[in-house]
Amino acid sequence: MQGQTLVVVVASLMLIVALFFFFERTIYGKALRATVINRTGARLMGISGALAGMLFFTLAAAIGAFLGILISPITTVYYDSGFLIGLKGFVGAIIGGLASYPMAAADAILVGLPESFRGSGRARSRR
């Protein structure tokens, strides 16, 4: 495993743990989860739905930019590369359940592992 790949894996695992603790342990994370589950109920409790949506999109953009910077030295990225990455993440999230972050992350890894092994087998057979 290359050093940069190890950095990406470690950073991803740290980000998963940080997001888990953010959504489970902080008042802001709980407010965001409440907004996702019941927007009207969250509004009645004083949580701004527009502000929560803005925070979600900002958080998603920051995570995407951070991981994009990390992964760019080890892979070639084209204009349509995000579709396949997003599709694999979506499949992992659906299999793991959208409400359980650890299960969604574990299943996303399980979706990606067979593909990575399949790709390495092709590279060896061409040599």
Cα distances (angstroms) measured from residue 62 to each of 32, 55, 73, 113: 16, 10, 18, 25
pLDDT category at 108 given cuts 50, 70, 90 is confident
Condensed to tens digits (0 to 9), the pLDDT of residues 60-107 reads 999 989 988 888 888 887 788 778 778 877 887 788 777 777 787 788
Domain edges within the chain = 1-74, 78-127
Q: What angle do CA 107, 108, 112 make, to 5 degrees?
A: 115
pTM over 0.75: no
Of the pLDDT bands very low, low, confident and very high (cuts 50, 70, 90), residue 11 is very high
Determine the 3-state secondary structure of 101 from DSSP.
helix
